[in-house]
Chain A
Amino acid sequence: MSQSTSIGRALDDERAFKYLLIAPAVFVILLIGLYPFIKLILTSFQNITMFDDDRSFNGFIHYARLFGDDRLWESLLHTAAFTAAALPIEILLGYLLALLFLDPMPLKRLFVAVILLPTVISPIVAGSTWRLMFDHRFGPINQIIAFLAGEEVKLLWTVDPFLVWPAILVAEVWQWTPFMFLILLAALSNVDREQLESAQIDGASWLMTFRKIVLPAITPVLFVAVLIRALDLVRLFDVIWTMTGGGPGTRTETISIYAYQMAFREFEISYSSAIAFLVIFALTALVIFALRRVEIAR
């Protein structure tokens, strides 16, 4: 009895020592991650605006306002639609590029490095560059189209409501397809060659090989890549801000741009906190759902 007690005490001491060791790291993480989150929630229940510094509890007034705010729901719709459009394109193009680079080829490393260049550029710079590319007078895009069409064209890419989303899509896909390419190249490189060869010998079609061998092998990596990119797209700000500023009107306003406008242009600090909480809540729910679906959390 006394022996088991002493073993138990030794284990407790060991556990306590472990907790003690990780305590500083946990404290820092809580400070960095949890404190702003709690502050955000608290602020969303106050009423801080440009002139009012009302820090008393104001109930759910800002959350109630969310439901009647058409501009908010429009910006969420823009965000969802753009994510739904950009993500498959990036996956498809990234996959095709990865296939291209799967086999040995001369100067492969150099080409891979060149393809990856857009991802290391700041999104603000990328957005500004594409804004110039799409400029109606000096931009090469209109000049190329004019050359092909054989007549002068004046497409207003950042003004025309039918052109503005495609323009943003081009910029976003240009910058982040290489990310997908890199992840998928790594994943495809690890697909079992013997299985592929066996499938080929057995006469399996390309589609069958992809569905039964390639896709299962790359799914975990692909899932992580899709998750990262989807979260990035939901938070999309820089490229749109530099290209259109959310315009024309509010046609390209994403949830991040709207939250920024509310917080730093209109100084609706408490309301923008409620928006931010809504976004965090929605994203967390989405990520948990996705993780459960793929069971990757295990």
Chain B
Amino acid sequence: MNRHRTLGAAASAAIALALAGQAAAQSSAERAAEAAKQYAGTTLNVFYEAGLQPLDPKNFTGPMWEELTGIKINVIEAPLDEMFTKIMQAHRAGSGAYDVLNVVPNQMPDLAFAGVLEPLDEWVDQYGYRDELSTIAPVYRDNQMMVEGTTYGFPDDGDVLVLYYRRDLFEDPENMAEFKAKHGYDLGPPKTWQQFNEIGQFITDKYAPDIYGAGMLRQPGNAQYLFQERFRVEGGKFFDSETMEATINSEAGVKVFTEMVEANKFMPPGVEQWGFIEAFNAFLAGDIAMTISWPPVGRWAAGYGKGTEALAWIPETQVADKIGYALPPGGTPELAVGFSLAVASGSENKEAAYLFIQWMNSEEISLQRVQLPFALRDPFRDSHFTSEEYRSRWPNAGDYLDTLKAGSETGLLDLSLIQTDRYEEGIRQAISSLWAGDDPQEILDELAESWDALTERIGVERQKRAYLDWASKPNAYPN
């Protein structure tokens, strides 16, 4: 009997070892999919930014996940500037409307403190995902994942604002000679905002109305990121770290606002209304020589994704073999927006939701997702930047990925405070007033006043702690 028992125990141990070995051999994506099979038949409500972003879960990961696990994916969309509101409303109402959330990282502290997000660390350890989290590019991993030491989201989108320019114009010998004679330095990607203005004006003077020197994101929702970046590049600080009084109306702020208005003069008429779509349309059409925008513009301008049904609305690029990639003036691009995948605390399917985001975010699946021509996810893992497959997608895809990687190293974080969205709303309104012709100093004084009132209501000491925590991060201000 004892002998039988010993043999039985040995057999059990052998089976357990074999299973453990098999589990160790599994990738984190496989582990997540395997574990999720117990939830077959359920539906996960996944909250995404409206537009192209949700084409990933709708057309790619959603069907794949359903085939692997039997879990359906239902995508719910909202415009970027309404995402925070919708998430908070759903949480306040206790509706359990969402299982998986796309969270804008600088809003993550607000959402975590409000109890909207589910802590993920236990699942990360249970499903062996810790190692793969460490291979996310440092700037995203260190700043877009945790709040006060707890993991609330997986950085999933390497957003960074990159300068795209027309190499054919910049490398034209006649242009180069004329420019050097006029300004005394070589025509090339601008290193400072003064150079940007001079190059933009030079090209407009020579080619407009066929080609303008630049066309920028000017709609307040987009332009606020350019302002945040340039304000810091010019030496501006958002707050006095001692008193917590807003210093957005400092000399740097007024200089940036004034120059933004001035720069519009060498851009196409009506640029004040340009958003992401207008700017990339103009760049792809060859109407502008420079623009600063999110990474998809660089891919589409190179012709990547041409013929894809979901991108049929994008005009055919006229500049496919003429694009250059560089960091914006100052060399510290804004890591504007970005997305982290999170689990809603009000979800009734939290574990299934977690397993879905681990699977999506894994090395294996994320590499496929960032190469989807129709979705907007941008490289965010070290392996994405170095992927041979990705680097061979178009002739200078390597330059593109190197630029994104460089941007991820020096990039500036979006301002993140308690109730960030309210501070950002102030910037958006200020920019809107700027385009209406108001005086930059008056606009920024008013903005500073409204920020101070808000800080007062939130609590100066409380907000100061949040600000100093954010400001102490290496990518909060240029080094």
Task: Indicate whether B85 reaches chain A with its CB closer than 8 angstroms.
Answer: yes
Q: In the bound complex, do residue B269 and residue A248 qualify as a contact, i.e. CB atoms below 8 Å apart?
A: no
Q: Kindly supply a per-residue 1/0 record for chain B positions 275-291, scoring 1 wherever the CB is within 8 Å of any chain A CB and 0 otherwise.
A: 00010000000000000
A159: chain B residues within 8 A (beta carbon): 272-273, 432, 435-436
Per the bound structure, the CA–CA distance linking A264 and B113 in Å amounts to 18
Q: In the bound complex, do residue B88 and residue A249 qualify as a contact, i.e. CB atoms below 8 Å apart?
A: no
Q: Interface stretch among B41-49, B229-237, B324-332, B419-427?
A: B419-427
Per the bound structure, the CA–CA distance linking A58 and B438 in Å amounts to 38
> Which A residue sits closest to B435, measured CB to CB?
A159
Per the bound structure, the CA–CA distance linking A51 and B466 in Å amounts to 15
Task: Indicate whether B184 reaches chain A with its CB closer than 8 angstroms.
Answer: no
Q: How far does the Cβ of A47 sit from chain B's closest Cβ, in whole Å?
A: 10
Task: Indicate whether B114 reaches chain A with its CB closer than 8 angstroms.
Answer: yes
Q: In the bound complex, do residue A266 and residue B435 qualify as a contact, i.e. CB atoms below 8 Å apart?
A: no
Task: Indicate whether A59 reaches chain B with its CB closer than 8 angstroms.
Answer: no
B435: chain A residues within 8 A (beta carbon): 156, 159, 248
Task: Indicate whether B53 reaches chain A with its CB closer than 8 angstroms.
Answer: no
Q: In the bound complex, do residue A50 and residue B88 qualify as a contact, i.e. CB atoms below 8 Å apart?
A: yes
Q: In the bound complex, do residue B273 and residue A136 qualify as a contact, i.e. CB atoms below 8 Å apart?
A: yes
Known: A248-B436, A266-B419. 12 other contacts (CB 8 A): A135-B273, A136-B273, A156-B272, A158-B273, A159-B272, A159-B273, A159-B432, A161-B436, A247-B433, A249-B433, A249-B438, A266-B425
Q: Which of A154, A247, A264, A266 is B432 in contact with, Cβ under 8 Å? A: A247
Q: How far does the Cβ of B267 sit from chain A's closest Cβ, in whole Å?
A: 12
Task: Indicate whether B368 reaches chain A with its CB closer than 8 angstroms.
Answer: no
Q: In the bound complex, do residue B429 and residue A249 qualify as a contact, i.e. CB atoms below 8 Å apart?
A: yes
Q: Which of B85, B88, B270 is A137 in contact with, Cβ under 8 Å? A: B270
> Which A residue sits closest to B419, measured CB to CB?
A50
Q: Given A50-B88, A50-B419, does the pair A161, B270 have CB atoms closer than 8 Å?
A: no
Q: Kindly supply a per-residue 1/0 record for chain A positions 147-160, scoring 1 wherever the CB is within 8 Å of any chain B CB and 0 otherwise.
A: 00000001010111
Q: In the bound complex, do residue A251 and residue B273 qualify as a contact, i.e. CB atoms below 8 Å apart?
A: no
**A residues apposed to B, CB below 8 Å:** 50-51, 135-137, 154, 156, 158-161, 247-251, 261, 264-267
> Which A residue sits closest to B430, measured CB to CB?
A249
Per the bound structure, the CA–CA distance linking A264 and B88 in Å amounts to 9
7 residue pairs from A and B, CB less than 8 Å apart: A50-B114, A136-B270, A154-B269, A159-B273, A160-B437, A249-B438, A267-B88
> Which B residue sits closest to A65, measured CB to CB?
B457
Task: Indicate whether B220 reaches chain A with its CB closer than 8 angstroms.
Answer: yes
Q: Given A247-B220, A266-B422, does the pair A160, B436 have CB atoms closer than 8 Å?
A: yes
Q: Which of B89, B270, B436 is A249 in contact with, Cβ under 8 Å? A: B436
Q: In the bound complex, do residue B114 and residue A156 qualify as a contact, i.e. CB atoms below 8 Å apart?
A: no
Task: Indicate whether B118 reaches chain A with its CB closer than 8 angstroms.
Answer: no
Q: In the bound complex, do residue A154 and residue B88 qualify as a contact, i.e. CB atoms below 8 Å apart?
A: no
A251: chain B residues within 8 A (beta carbon): 433, 436
A261: chain B residues within 8 A (beta carbon): 425
Per the bound structure, the CA–CA distance linking A50 and B425 in Å amounts to 15
Q: Given A248-B435, A251-B436, does the pair A51, B113 have CB atoms closer than 8 Å?
A: yes
Per the bound structure, the CA–CA distance linking A44 and B89 in Å amounts to 19
Q: How far does the Cβ of A161 sit from chain B's closest Cβ, in whole Å?
A: 5
Per the bound structure, the CA–CA distance linking A160 and B272 in Å amounts to 10
Per the bound structure, the CA–CA distance linking A156 and B434 in Å amounts to 14
Q: In the bound complex, do residue A264 and residue B85 qualify as a contact, i.e. CB atoms below 8 Å apart?
A: yes
Interface-central residue, A50, A161, A261, by most chain B CB under 10 Å:
A50
Q: How far does the Cβ of B119 sit from chain A's closest Cβ, in whole Å?
A: 18
Task: Indicate whether B363 reaches chain A with its CB closer than 8 angstroms.
Answer: no
Q: Given A248-B433, A248-B436, does the pair A156, B273 have CB atoms closer than 8 Å?
A: yes
Per the bound structure, the CA–CA distance linking A159 and B443 in Å amounts to 16
Q: How far does the Cβ of B76 sit from chain A's closest Cβ, in whole Å?
A: 17
Per the bound structure, the CA–CA distance linking A179 and B292 in Å amounts to 47
Q: In the bound complex, do residue B270 and residue A248 qualify as a contact, i.e. CB atoms below 8 Å apart?
A: no
B425: chain A residues within 8 A (beta carbon): 261, 265-266
Q: How far does the Cβ of A209 sit from chain B's closest Cβ, in whole Å?
A: 47
Task: Indicate whether B110 reaches chain A with its CB closer than 8 angstroms.
Answer: yes
Per the bound structure, the CA–CA distance linking A267 and B107 in Å amounts to 14
B443: chain A residues within 8 A (beta carbon): 249
Q: In the bound complex, do residue B85 and residue A50 qualify as a contact, i.e. CB atoms below 8 Å apart?
A: no
Q: How far does the Cβ of B171 sit from chain A's closest Cβ, in whole Å?
A: 30
B85: chain A residues within 8 A (beta carbon): 264-265
From residue 33 to 91 of chain B, which have CB atoms closer than 8 A to chain A?
Answer: 85, 88-89
> Which B residue sits closest to A157, measured CB to CB?
B273
From residue 426 to 479 of chain B, which have CB atoms closer than 8 A to chain A?
Answer: 429-430, 432-433, 435-438, 443
Per CB-CB distance, the 3 closest pairs between chain A and chain B, nearest first, are: A249-B433, A248-B436, A136-B270
Per the bound structure, the CA–CA distance linking A161 and B272 in Å amounts to 13
Q: Given A136-B270, A160-B436, does the pair A250, B88 have CB atoms closer than 8 Å?
A: no
Q: How far does the Cβ of A48 sit from chain B's closest Cβ, in whole Å?
A: 9
Per the bound structure, the CA–CA distance linking A158 and B419 in Å amounts to 28
